[in-house]
Amino acid sequence: MIPTFYDTIKDLVWEEVTESIYSKTINDVERALSKTNPDIEDFKALISPEADRYLEYMAEKSREITQRRFGKVMLFYIPLYLSNACSNHCIYCGFNHNNDIKRKTLTDEEILEEIKVIKSMGYDNVLLLTGEFPRVAGVSYIENAIKLCRPYFSAINLEVFPMGVENYEKLIAAGANSVYVYQETFNENRYKFYHPKGMKSHYKWRLGTPERLAQAGIHRIGMGALIGLEEWRTEMVYLAMHLSFMTKNYWKQKYCVAFPRMRPAAGGYQPNFLMSEKEFAQTLWAFRLFDNDVEICMSTRETMNMRNHFITLGITSISAGSHTDPGGYAHPDTNLEQFHINDDRTPKEMEKMVREQGYDVIYKDWDRILN
């Protein structure tokens, strides 16, 4: 019987993990940089303040590893929001059930309208998202949306509410290739503060989602934490531990990590902890050195300048032309959006920028025949 990830971390004390990161020395950093297969203690060193003077070296190493492992290509992805109805009360999210915003769940005809616009941009893969409100947009609704998308896209990815193995198997059979689920914060003692009510308030159920996904046989699993809730270095160590646990125990799956920084949204919540662009870079390069094979994505939450500079430095996929409101491609309405994006360039404008840096752009993730 494989222990759960929760079993492996339940006795850790958040503050002690934080202290262990900040106690790392220059010698620890140099030892970590010399290793081919860094462990969690090495990751702590790479994410620590002491690694600051080695960032240029980490960047060069990250570029070399990424190009060797993934080539000089950048996968473009695009979110298609199906619904902003949500039963959760996450205090930082624009979709918070308490927020006085318009709610919309797309009909079949409206989904097909969105598909038409997204296809005109050149995409052959799509990321379907919903709020967490199964009574409005549940398993059957998501399954139907996947089937509507299947004739048009080679890869269909999901970012929806956590569910059990049987329901994931049903969505995989319908055509889902990847599922992304973000823990938001790994700090169990503070988790309930940010998620007071709703399905998302159950820490252990959400934490176990990647394991249920792997047991269901999904092709790719996306994991991450939202930067702005708790001390970000500690969050990233827990995320690295989660990634390590999954790759060891569920090695047949591919993995992607993300650490999006909080953006302005309805409700006006302000982040408790800020991560600078320099610190974002350090985090990105620490993950690339820690796991050469992990995919790393960057969304339109980040600035235009920042996204330009990271194309060659470790990320493998980037969103372009995104809308975070249901129906936002055919009929944009900022009153429906989850958060305000930071980079509103079109896919063609993004593609020009990427190609100018010597990288190829791919809009197609992978073929269903490979499943």
Domains observed in the chain: 60-364 (3.20.20.70)
CA angle 297, 298, 300 (to 5 degrees): 145
Q: Please state, for a pLDDT cut of 70, what percent of the chain lies above it.
A: 98
Q: How much is the average pLDDT of 202-208?
A: 98
Question: Phi/psi at 161 (nearest 5 deg)?
Answer: -65, 145
- The residues with which 318 forms a beta bridge, in sequence order, are 76, 298
Is pLDDT above 70 for 368?
no
Contact 91, 196 (CB under 8 A): yes
Q: What is the dihedral of CA 309, 313, 317, 322, to 10 degrees?
A: -10
Instruction: Return the percentage of the chain with pLDDT > 90, whole number.
Output: 87
Q: 267: pLDDT confidence band, cut at 50, 70 and 90? A: confident
From the list 126, 133, 130, the residue with the least C-alpha distance to 148 is 126
Amino acid at 104: K
Instruction: Tell me, letter by letter, the H, E, C secondary structure of the chain.
Output: CCCCHHHHHCCCCHHHHHHHHHCCCHHHHHHHHHCCCCCHHHHHHHHCHHHHHHHHHHHHHHHHHHHHHHCCEEEEECEEEEECCCCCCCCCCCCCCCCCCCCCECCHHHHHHHHHHHHHCCCCEEEEEECCCHHHHCHHHHHHHHHHHCCCCCEEEEECCCCCHHHHHHHHHHCEEEEEEEEECCCHHHHHHHCCCCHHHCHHHHHCHHHHHHHHCCCEEEEEECECCCCHHHHHHHHHHHHHHHHHHCCCCEEEEECCECCCCCCCCCCCCCCCHHHHHHHHHHHHHHCCCCEEEECCCCCHHHHHHHCCCCCCEEECCCCCCCCCCCCCCHHHCCCCCCCCCCHHHHHHHHHHCCCEEECCCCCHHHC
Residue 341 has pLDDT above 90, yes or no: no
Contact partners, residue 91, CB within 8 Å, separation at least 6? 193, 194, 195, 196, 267, 269
| pLDDT at residue 266, as a whole number | 74
What's the whole-number mean pLDDT along residues 213-239? Answer: 97
Q: What is the pLDDT of residue 366?
A: 58
Gap between the Cα atoms of 177 and 156, Å rounded: 6
Tally of CB atoms within 10 A around 293: 11
pLDDT score for 356: 97
Query: What is the value of pTM for the model shown?
Result: 0.95
* Pairwise CA distance, residues 274 & 288, whole Å: 22
Strand 220-225 with 125-130, pairing: unpaired
Q: What is the pLDDT of residue 367?
A: 47
Q: Note the pLDDT tens digit of each residue in 148-192.
A: 999 999 999 999 999 999 999 999 999 999 999 999 999 999 999
The CA distance from 35 to 65, in Å, is 13
The CA R_g of the chain, rounded to the nearest whole Å, is 20
